Homo-oligomer: A and B are copies of this chain.
Amino acid sequence: MNDTKPVIAVIGGTGALGTGLSHRWAKAGYPLVIGSRSAERAVEAAAALEVPSGISKPRGMMNADAASVGEVVVMTVPFKSHAAILDEIAEAVRGKIVVDTTVPFVPPKVARVQLPPDDSAAISAQKRLGNGTRVVAAFHNVAAHKLQIDVEIDCDVLVFGESPEDRDVVIGLAEAARLRGLHGGPLANSAAAEAMTSVLIGINKRYKVDGAGLRITGIGATG
């Protein structure tokens, strides 16, 4: 990690959440690389991002290349591609922080909690990448379409990982995206936020809203 802003690689960066987070980090002046299975789509997505003047334009490339370039690597891929893409980038991310945003949806019933064998996608990722790589899980509960525009988002980001220092780095990335990040405890606790996303989707349907979120109360000011 540099003293300055780390290069963030967004794997699956052409998807809804990847686009939203990239939008916010680009605006905040973070150096970005957008990864995709298609280099062409990655280049397009990178070119569409707005950056402050004086900051170099994000680059687009294949996922594994992006993972090599990134100092912090953020996984924003569908659960069905999670394992395969982790295997693809495993060598490139060794020793780095991998921020896993994956929610283990089992379509079509995405409003039903259906936890995977490890109870958590983040734990699966850690097993897959091995102990040399530091998985931190976050950004499960925030509505992707809100990240893509410049609105205040009334949602906290719970950050899970074995090391408080690594969690602090990701809390910093949440703040750069104009969200409050909070220490959620060890990586196993990611199951709570992963499961809560299905609850929020059900609430969106039930209450006819389009971006229910989550706030932790009782710890002082939000935002």
A residues whose Cβ falls under 8 Å from a Cβ of B? 111-115, 119, 154-155, 158, 182-186, 188-193, 195-196, 198-200, 202-203, 206-207, 209-220
A188 — which chain B residues lie within 8 A by C-beta?
112-114
The distance in angstroms between the C-alpha atoms of A211 and B220, with both chains bound, is: 11
Q: How far is the CA of A113 from the CA of B198 in the complex (A)?
A: 18
* B191 A115 Cβ-Cβ under 8 A: yes
A113 CB contacts on chain B under 8 angstroms: 119, 185, 188-192
Determine the distance from Cα of A15 to Cα of B113 in the docked complex, in whole angstroms. Answer: 29
**A111, B43: Cα distance in complex, Å:** 43
Residues on the B chain within 8 Å of A190, using CB: 113
- From known contacts A113-B188, A188-B114, A195-B191, infer whether A212 and B217 are also in contact, taking CB-CB under 8 Å: yes
Known contacts A212-B217, A213-B217, A214-B217; A189/B185 CB under 8 A? no
**Contact call A184/B202, Cβ cutoff below 8 A:** yes
Does A216 lie within 8 Å of B206, measured CB to CB?
A: no
Contacts of A182 in B (CB 8 A): 203, 207
Besides the known contacts A185-B203, A189-B195, 19 further A-B residue pairs in the complex with CB atoms under 8 A apart: A112-B188, A113-B191, A154-B218, A182-B203, A183-B202, A183-B206, A184-B199, A189-B198, A191-B191, A191-B195, A192-B199, A196-B196, A203-B216, A203-B219, A207-B219, A207-B220, A209-B218, A209-B220, A213-B217
Q: Which one of B119, B155, B209, B219 contacts A115 once the chains associate, using CB atoms below 8 Å?
A: B119
With A113-B192, A119-B115 already in contact, the answer to whether A202 and B216 are too (CB < 8 A) is no
**CA of A113 to CA of B118, assembled, Å:** 12
29 interchain pairs, CB-CB under 8 A:
A112-B185, A112-B186, A112-B188, A112-B189, A113-B188, A113-B190, A113-B191, A114-B188, A115-B115, A119-B119, A154-B218, A158-B199, A182-B203, A182-B207, A185-B199, A185-B206, A189-B195, A189-B199, A191-B191, A191-B195, A192-B192, A203-B216, A209-B218, A210-B218, A212-B219, A213-B216, A214-B214, A214-B216, A215-B217
Residue of B nearest to A216 (CB): B212
